[in-house]
Amino acid sequence: MSEQSCFHCGLTIPKNEEINFDEKKFCCTGCKTVYEIFSLNDLTCYYDFEKSPGATPQDIQGKYDFLDNEAILAKVLEFQEANTSIVSLNIPHIHCSSCIWILENLNRLQPGISTSQVNFPEKKVRITFNSETVSLKSIVYLLSSIGYEPYISLENYETGKNKVDRSLTYKVGVAFFCFGNIMLLSFPEYFEIKEFWLDSYKPFFRILIFLLALPSFLYSASGYYVSAYHSIRTRMLNIDIPIALGIIVMFIRSTYDMLMDHGPGFFDSLASLVFFMLLGKMFQTKTYSFLSFERDFKSYFPIAVTRINADFSEESVPIYDVLKGNRLLIRNQELIPVDGILMSEKAEIDYSFVTGEAVPITKKSGDKIFAGGKQIGKVIEMEVLHSVSQSYLTQLWSNEIFQKKVEQKHKTITDALSRYFTPILLLIAFAGFGYWIFIDANIAFNVFTAVLIVACPCALALTAPFTFGNILRIMGKQKMYLKNALVIEQLAKVDTIVFDKTGTITTNKKSNILYEGIDFSDENLQLIKNVLRGSNHPLSRMLYDFLPEYERIKIDDFQEITGKGILAFAEEKEVKIGSSSFVESEVLDSSEIERTSLHIKIDNIYYGKFIFQNQYREGLEKLFETLSREYNIKVLSGDNDGERENLEAILPKNTELVFNQKPEQKLEFIKKLQETGKNVMMVGDGLNDAGALAQSNVGVSVSENVNVFSPACDAILDAGEFSRLNYFLKLSHKSILIIKMSFGLSLLYNIVGLTFAVTGNLLPLVAAIIMPLSTITIVSFVTFMSNYLSCKNLD
Amino acid sequence: MSVIYLLISVSIFVAICFFIAFIVAVKSGQYDDDYTPSVRILFDDETKITSQNNNSPIEEKQV
């Protein structure tokens, strides 16, 4: 075996670096320590459920000191009384059964924890512990030490008890209960057995049926009455009006029939109708509970920050308490929560959360630094300029687009159809009534009610939920996660697509690295590779991955100077890697500044530089070419136009490129497009796109890791599937086609039912057959069609 | 009193009992997480094995 993977985390172990312990191989001491902890506590079962399930623990020294602060602690805890506390922690690493097992056996690692329960789909663990024997901070440290570092952000600060809405489950339960029992009790009526014995019990059966229909009619169907009432008030005819009308008429007519002993009424159809429609509703509301589509900056900002008081003491304070003029301490890997001025000499700030740009920016003392960046390297100090809500980035969320909760931005396809459906239905009902009234008043009333009952657009109303629900699942399997089913309709309407540049059409994982300068000897390359190994700077990591594998050599002296580069000695050579000023390269022209590069100097000889270029995603050119045939494509970027030439070479000719866009400007750009009547899809990634994503008709967030990062949006697309964007758009068009086809089918059923109704022949038995039959045909039709079309090659 | 009244009443009563059980189950949050319990149920035995036999957990679990 040439490649070996770590027993704990499964990563490939670099050559000659493996650590042997207990006859197992580990890639680093971190992984070994976790194994030691587990084996000491009889918890090695952890490795039995899944192969190499672990993660390397990260260094979190001082990161969670804020959990000592009582005020913050009270906000994070879900429940606290006497010495029992409960906390729900979000742990992104939860991914397999081993994770569930170890997290539910935490009490064996830490006395004081009584129970811990994992919610796998939400990636959360709920821990009940005794706050006198163990503190939350030590639990968090324990979790981190075994590789399950919890994710605590500003969002946790406002956790109340989040109420789960289970009313739909109750309604479906009630509807099913009523439906099932009514069906059983209706059997004697269906067969019309003229038997004395059964006839004498008819009133008893009918009363029971009536009583059973009440909860279904009054409770389960209540949502339709409310929705119908609203739609009448706002004068927007939606599909719920004929449904509510049908249900109410059905109930009244059936009660009347029963009282007058005309027949058994339509209670069975009523119960089945309500049940099937609620089932459709439930099918449509597929949610991806491990994803969040409502995230704002709060999910990314820390809950507390270290403040330096006037007497130089350090104190953890909640972020909302940070005021202008305060001095803050930001550690390695910590997020800068507010705008401020850098007090320390130098800082390397990674704005990838905000812009999607992977390369950190160097700031000098006195420079303004903006909220949202992550400090990399040493501890820095800063002075606050604006409080959290006033900061450059967070101000975006005070825009009105984030204020109002837009329930539904557009009319759905079903509602559009029902604008015609409802008036026509009423017209037929009245025409039938008008015709029969001259012949027989009794039949006239029967016909009138029968029309409303049979035309109750159950199948029509079910078409969209089942089609969209199914497409939603199909897309989810292919890593395009939609917020809800309505997004599919929006996708089909899109005519303009706006892309963000950095992080969206470029990837931040790989970089295109070019070398300019004197050729290196193998020895020198080996030297560079080994020097880079010690550095955690993103550029060093990228270059390290780019260079070929070499044997390890010993580095005698290693020094990393923040914002400058690396100075190292090895094999009696001095190696300098870093910025041009640090390496003192003689060749300096002004165009160099806009490019990201690493310069190399060995033993005072300047060799050359590695240039990092944006790497565009695979398949981008083809995607843009196909998209440009049907859509208007625009590219927005927050950067300067240094990449313009490269982009123009890749993109189709008529593509509009806009550079130097601030977050608000992106939002305005989308707004302007919409004002000209365009349906805009925004494809973005970072927090600076959040405004544009919210403003657009469909906001798609491209994410390298769907579990971790994505701003508020309508859909989350896994970055690996980016080149298939066209497929998803095509699929949304197809789903609209399916819906239209099945609308035709269900209208056919309606016509058949209506012919029974207007001739006055609608028997309860006929209704009881037509209604479920149409429902089943429609559901199977749309399920089959959507699965068939999604498998077909749509390109 | 005819037996049919009794039978139907009993059957409805039983149905209502199940219905109430369903409501209670939903209310207690059993339907909120429908994945984790299915994994959790497989764990219990393995925990015991390791805590009893420290030395040979590997042989035990291969059974």
Whether residues A495 and A640 share a domain: the answer is yes
Is A173 close to B35, i.e. CB distance below 8 A?
no
pLDDT of residue A222: 92
- Mean pLDDT, residues A357-377 taken together: 79
- Least confident range from A192-196, A534-538, A603-607, A651-655: namely A192-196
Name the nearest CA neighbour of A788 among A737, A715, A725: A737
Q: Which residues of A touch B26 (CB under 8 A)?
A: 166, 169-170, 173
Gap between the terminal Cα atoms of chain A:
42
Q: Answer whether residue A254 shows pLDDT above 70.
A: yes
Is A173 close to B5, i.e. CB distance below 8 A?
no
- The two beta strands, A480-482 and A715-718, are antiparallel
CA atoms within 13 A on the CB side of A394: 22
Query: What is the number of structural domains in chain B?
Result: 1
Closest residue of A to B13, CA-based?
A181
Q: Which residues of A touch B34 (CB under 8 A)?
A: 121
pLDDT of residue B53: 41
Residue A674 within a domain: yes
Report the SS3 class of residue A748.
helix
| More confident: A289 or A409 | A289
Q: Which residues of A touch B46 (CB under 8 A)?
A: 45, 48, 101
Whether residues A502 and A621 share a domain: the answer is yes
How confident is residue A571, by pLDDT bands cut at 50, 70 and 90?
confident
Distance CA A324, CA A327 (A): 9
Report the SS3 class of residue A250.
helix
- Least confident range from A534-543, A567-576, B31-40: namely A534-543
Name the nearest CA neighbour of A613 among A586, A625, A595, A639: A595
Q: Which residues of B touch A97 (CB under 8 A)?
A: 39, 42
Burial class (CB in 10 A: 0-12, 13-18, 19+), A500: buried
Q: Are A97 and A50 in contact (CB under 8 A)?
A: yes
pLDDT of residue A771: 77
Last residue of a domain, one of A131, A158, A185: A158
pLDDT of residue A164: 67
Enter the DSSP assignment of A217.
I
| More confident: A732 or B3 | A732
Distance CA A687, CA A663 (A): 9
Is B57 close to A166, i.e. CB distance below 8 A?
no
Q: Answer whether residue A332 shows pLDDT above 50.
A: yes
Q: Which residues of B touch A185 (CB under 8 A)?
A: 8
Q: Which residues of A touch B40 (CB under 8 A)?
A: 100, 104, 118
Mean predicted lDDT score pLDDT of chain A:
80
pLDDT of residue A643: 72
- Mean pLDDT, residues A498-522 taken together: 77
Q: Answer whether residue B51 shows pLDDT above 50.
A: no
pLDDT of residue B49: 46
Q: Answer whether residue A640 shows pLDDT above 80.
A: no
Residue A369 within a domain: yes
Whether residues A622 and A721 share a domain: the answer is yes
Residue A653 within a domain: yes
Report the SS3 class of residue A110.
coil
Residue B59 within a domain: no
Beta bridge partners, A368, equal A341
Last residue of a domain, one of A616, A643, A674: A616
pLDDT of residue B18: 93
pLDDT of residue B21: 94
A406-442 burial by CB neighbour count: b if 16+ within 10 A, else e?
Answer: eeeeeebbbbebbeebbeebbebbeebbeebeeeeee
Find the angle CA(A349)-CA(A158)-CA(A696) to the nearest 5 degrees: 65
Q: DSSP for chain B? A: --HHHHHHHHHHHHHHHHHHHHHHHHHTTTTT-SSHHHHHTTTHHHHHHHHH-SS-HHHHHT-
Whether residues A141 and A128 share a domain: the answer is yes
Rounded to a whole number of angstroms, the distance from the CA of B13 to the nearest CA of chain A is 11
Last residue of a domain, one of A141, A158, A175: A158
Closest residue of A to B3, CA-based?
A201
- Least confident range from A163-177, A266-280, A390-404, A553-567: namely A390-404
CATH code of the domain covering residue A381 = 2.70.150.10
Q: Answer whether residue B48 shows pLDDT above 60.
A: no
pLDDT of residue A215: 93
pLDDT in tens, A747-775: 888 888 888 887 777 777 777 777 778 88
Is A118 close to B27, i.e. CB distance below 8 A?
no
- Mean pLDDT, residues A612-628 taken together: 81
Whether residues A14 and A78 share a domain: the answer is no
Distance CA A296, CA A690 (A): 8
Joined tokens for residue A623: 């995607």
Whether residues A69 and A115 share a domain: the answer is yes
pLDDT in tens, A103-144: 888 888 888 888 888 888 878 888 888 888 888 888 888 888
Whether residues A625 and A664 share a domain: the answer is yes
Q: Which residues of A touch B42 (CB under 8 A)?
A: 97
Whether residues A524 and A592 share a domain: the answer is yes
E-strand spans in A201-326? 304-308, 314-318
Joined tokens for residue A547: 């260079």
Is A170 close to B26, i.e. CB distance below 8 A?
yes
pLDDT in tens, A189-246: 777 666 676 677 788 888 889 999 999 999 999 988 998 898 888 877 777 888 888 8
Interface residues of B toward A, Cβ cutoff 8 Å, are 2, 4-5, 8, 12, 15, 19, 22-23, 26-27, 29, 31-36, 39-40, 42-43, 46-47, 49-51, 54, 57, 61
Q: Answer whether residue B59 shows pLDDT above 50.
A: no
Q: Answer whether residue A597 shows pLDDT above 50.
A: yes
pLDDT of residue A493: 87
How confident is residue A1, by pLDDT bands cut at 50, 70 and 90?
very low
Residue A716 within a domain: yes
Residue B8 within a domain: yes
Q: Which residues of B touch A105 (CB under 8 A)?
A: 47
Q: Answer whether residue A793 shows pLDDT above 70.
A: no
Neighbours of A250 (CB within 10 A): 26
How confident is residue A15, by pLDDT bands cut at 50, 70 and 90?
low
CATH code of the domain covering residue A113 = 3.30.70.100
Whether residues A502 and A585 share a domain: the answer is no
CATH code of the domain covering residue A46 = 2.30.170
CATH code of the domain covering residue A494 = 3.40.50.1000
pLDDT of residue B54: 42
Residue A308 within a domain: yes
Q: Which residues of B touch A204 (CB under 8 A)?
A: 4-5, 8
Whether residues A109 and A149 share a domain: the answer is yes
pLDDT in tens, A165-186: 788 889 999 999 999 999 888 8
Distance CA A13, CA A16 (A): 8
- Mean pLDDT, residues A491-500 taken together: 88
pLDDT of residue B19: 92
Whether residues A50 and A103 share a domain: the answer is no
Residue A429 within a domain: no
Query: What is the number of structural domains in chain A?
Result: 5
| Polymer length in residues for chain B | 63
pLDDT of residue A530: 81
Distance CA A194, CA A382 (A): 91
Residue A277 within a domain: no
Residue B35 has its nearest CB partner, among A117, A120, A170, at: A120
Closest residue of B to A181, CA-based?
B12
pLDDT of residue A156: 67
Enter the DSSP assignment of A216.
I
Burial class (CB in 10 A: 0-12, 13-18, 19+), A794: middle
Query: Interhelix angle for A413-437 vs A725-758, to 10°?
Result: 10
Residue B22 within a domain: yes
pLDDT of residue B57: 40
Q: Tell me what percent of the residues of chain A surpass a pLDDT of 70.
A: 89
Whether residues A601 and A635 share a domain: the answer is no
Residue B41 within a domain: yes
| More confident: B21 or A18 | B21
Residue B15 within a domain: yes
Per the structure, the complete domain to which residue B37 belongs is given by 3-50
Per the structure, the complete domain to which residue A138 belongs is given by 65-158
Q: For chain A, positions 28-67, list CB contacts with chain B under 8 A.
A: 42-45, 48
Is A45 close to B46, i.e. CB distance below 8 A?
yes
- AA letter at A31: C
Residue B61 within a domain: no
Residue B21 within a domain: yes
Is B47 close to A173, i.e. CB distance below 8 A?
no
Is B61 close to A45, i.e. CB distance below 8 A?
yes
